[in-house]
A and B are shown apart, each in its own frame.
Chain A
Amino acid sequence: MKKLKILALILAATTVLTACSSTQPQKSEASSSGSEVSATSTVTKNARDQLVVAIANEPGSLDPQNVGVVSAYQVQEQMFNTLVERDEEGNFLPSLAESWEQIDDTTIRFKLRQDVLFHNGEKMTAEDVRYSIQRATEIPLSASIFKGFDGEATAVVDDYTVDVKTKEPFAGALSYLATTRGSIVSKKAAEEKGLDGFGLEPIGTGPFKLSKWESGDRIILEKFDDYWGDKATYKTLIARIIPDASVRSMELESGGVDFLFDTNPADYDRIKNNPNLVTEVGTSFTHELWLLSMTAEEFSDIKVRKAMSLALDIPAIVKTVWGELGVPADSVFSDKVYGHVSIGPIKQDVEEAKKLLAEAGYPNGFSTEITFGESAVTQAALEIAQQMWAAVGINVTITPLDQATYKDNNAAGITRFGRSNFTTSTGDPDHALANWQSGYKGALNANDAHIDELMAKGRAESDDAKRKEIYKELQEYCWNSYYSIPVVFSKVSYAYTNKITNFEFASTQQPNLSQIIFSE
């Protein structure tokens, strides 16, 4: 009996201790002081001083001109500003530039704000802007995007005026300048630290500055008190690196993080139905196409290419795999991109597909192989498509490769049938269709002079209506050439705790988080 009592006491003590330990910081502690913040024209008390977000990968660098991963852009968005910003309707708004004008076919003159400080306390001048644009045209990771700009000729007019030059008339120039790659960096800091050093300790003008980067674990940003715009509404932004998508979801559900930039499709319904969480879904700039390479003999005949498309029930594939987080592609780039026209989606016609194959000399079908950089979602979609292709006699082997090998195969021109999942971060069709141009080392290899010609025309056309007309023709031509199978426009899906308000949705998947407010 005595032993039983002792056992009961031990159990009770264990329970109490366990209960105490369960209050460990699953969620960041609310600030005792809180902070007064101004947002949406009212003064609100922010209940917390810290926002914890999850990013999927650790960026190799935070230098805006020397990195190419989405998780880096998501952090950079909080640390840097660009000359102009683009709103959700595609309008350009002043940011570091107060105003701008096109002074000739290849020159845009920007008048800069005079009250902008970098995180190192230095004042931003036209020389920093000139340096940043030139840098964007020289560092390979951004030079490929900024190839239309003439960094050498971009010139300082006075301390707060700069002439940005393009090599040729370039209608999409502002779209490019509004991306994180067009961020303005401190010339002094970039030169002092060197390329690698600046990537690890970047200096921008944004509402947050880098405080600490714990390799493999988290990046900690701190409110920049001398920010020129609306100051951040809380003190610290922590970006935790959580590679596993389902763990990111569970961290949000258990309170370990407050905000997710993307929701795992498999967890979406659960998160959506959780009363403590909020999801916001909207169209993104991302499209997924399956590319039929013109270097593969079987795809040189348009009838075969068309049969490949007609065999598929794209809406059914998208509904099954992407659910609410995707819409069947109705063009070769997303409907958020400038000049998009709705043409599709592809309508399945199995009989027509069989007929076309027979006419092309493949009455019994043929075998081919699709390769792609590993992606569980694409793999799931391809497995459904594989059955549909088999129904018309096309035997498709699905071979996921690691990204490096896939890129190598593309460069060597040996990919017969590949995949492109592309985010048009600029929102400009010239960028969206970059891999359709002749000479591009991708899986498409269209090498079609008519596409090149239309792209050159679209790039140079400054009249809005005429430019849209060119891209309409281009989209229809690309669609009807059947060089690719347009599959899905995936959606942006943010998820966050219901204690967050004042979140501003961004289709770019890189929202500005500085104005978030926590309720009690």
Chain B
Amino acid sequence: MAKYILKRLLSMVVVFFGVSVLIFTLLYFTPGDPARMILGDEATEEQILKLQDELGLNDSYIEQYGRFIGNALKGDLGVSYVTGRPVTQDILSRFPTTIKLALLSTLVAVIIAIPLGVLSAIYQNKLIDNLSRIIGLFGVSMPQFWQAILLIILFSLQLRWLPASGSYGWQYWILPSFTIGIHMASTILRITRASMLDTLKNDYIMTARAKGTKEFWVITRHALKNALIPIVTVLGLRFGNALSGSVIAESIFALPGLGKLIVDAIKARDYPVVQASVFLISISYCVINLAVDILYTYINPQIKEQLRRK
């Protein structure tokens, strides 16, 4: 197992290198001049040229990339063109908000999706199944910004139960978590339902019932545990996605997260912030994928055995 993890960690280095080349190249060829964005419309061409030189924007592609990767290897991700703050400081101050939002949203999604998905599969084509399918359809097809605004209108404006935006206490996290969580839940609900339906058809479920096991244990211990692999896969992907920051939820609920930081940085052509943020996101994705793979071995011992044999 340790060998497997080590192998995966080594492969991550290749992924990070690929990501660095890709993001650098994309930004290099993106139209829009950071110097012009910083100095504004009224700056003279001399001022713009001077700033371009200071930022090293007139150097060749190879020189710029070499400088970027060289500094990154030394742990220096650069300084924001806009704020002049070290990029690491900006990102680290935003990442906790994004992690918190991702965890809470995933929790909301799991609480909604898994019980509903399981019930849907058990009572296939019955009222509860139809209801949960409708909920799933709404969740997946309702645009997130619209859902967010509706939640604010209902809970902040009409009922006055919850604050509309900000992050100054636990109650501030409820609306954003539900906005992302409901959306996330709809996919997980469908996967749970499908996976449970497949599992419930297996012979070992019939055997468990024939042995007189209580239905509750048949569903939870035998069916759900075996149906979890695809659910955990999707959950991992969605969680990784949430960690890259939800731009819409962060913007609407005025949360100081990574998604908003990246979008602002892209608009301002603040390359160091974009590069460093994408790096952090790719690390998060790789780590979560690895965590999901490790989790498989606990859910299904057969996978552990396969890895051991390899």
Contacts and interface: CB of A to CB of B under 8 A. Distances in A.
A199 B156 contact: no
Given A140-B39, A254-B164, A411-B33, A58 B156 contact: no
A403 to B, nearest CB: 7
Interface residues of A, number: 50
Contacts of B256: 214-217, 241
Interface string B29-72: 00111101111111111011011000000000000000000000
A251 B169 contact: no
B149 interface: yes
B161 interface: yes
A243 B145 CA distance: 13
Given A58-B264, A251-B164, A404-B36, A21 B45 contact: no
A405 B30 CA distance: 9
Given A26-B163, A243-B251, A243-B254, A140 B36 contact: no
B90 interface: yes
Please tell me the size bucket of the interface on B.
Answer: 35 or more
Contacts, number: 149
A251 B165 contact: yes
Interface stretch (A308-316, A434-442, A445-453): A434-442
B232 to A, nearest CB: 32
Contact of B43 (A140, A241, A244): A140
A141 B40 contact: yes
Given A140-B47, A144-B42, A441-B45, A247 B152 contact: yes
A408 B36 contact: yes
Contacts of A217: 166-167, 254-256
A195 interface: yes
B131 interface: no
A233 to B, nearest CB: 24
B133 interface: no
Contacts of A246: 149
Which of A18, A21, A240, A247 has the most chain B CB within a 10 Å cutoff?
A247
B39 A144 contact: yes
Which of A144, A216, A240, A242 has the most chain B CB within a 10 Å cutoff?
A216
B212 interface: no
Interface in A130-147: 140-141, 143-145
B178 interface: no
Interface string B76-110: 00011011110000100110010000000000000
Contacts of B43: 140-141, 143-144
A256 B171 CA distance: 13
B160 A22 contact: yes
Nearest to A374: B267
Given A141-B39, A215-B256, A244-B254, A254 B32 contact: no
B33 A408 contact: yes
14 contacts: A22-B159, A25-B168, A60-B83, A60-B268, A141-B40, A144-B39, A195-B84, A196-B84, A199-B84, A217-B255, A242-B254, A256-B166, A402-B267, A404-B32
Given A216-B93, A243-B251, A256-B163, 16 more contacts: A24-B169, A25-B163, A25-B168, A60-B268, A141-B43, A144-B44, A241-B256, A242-B254, A250-B152, A402-B267, A404-B34, A405-B31, A407-B41, A411-B33, A411-B48, A434-B42
Interface of B: 31-34, 36-45, 47-48, 50-51, 79-80, 82-85, 90, 93-94, 97, 149, 152-153, 156-157, 159-169, 171, 251-257, 260-261, 264, 267-269
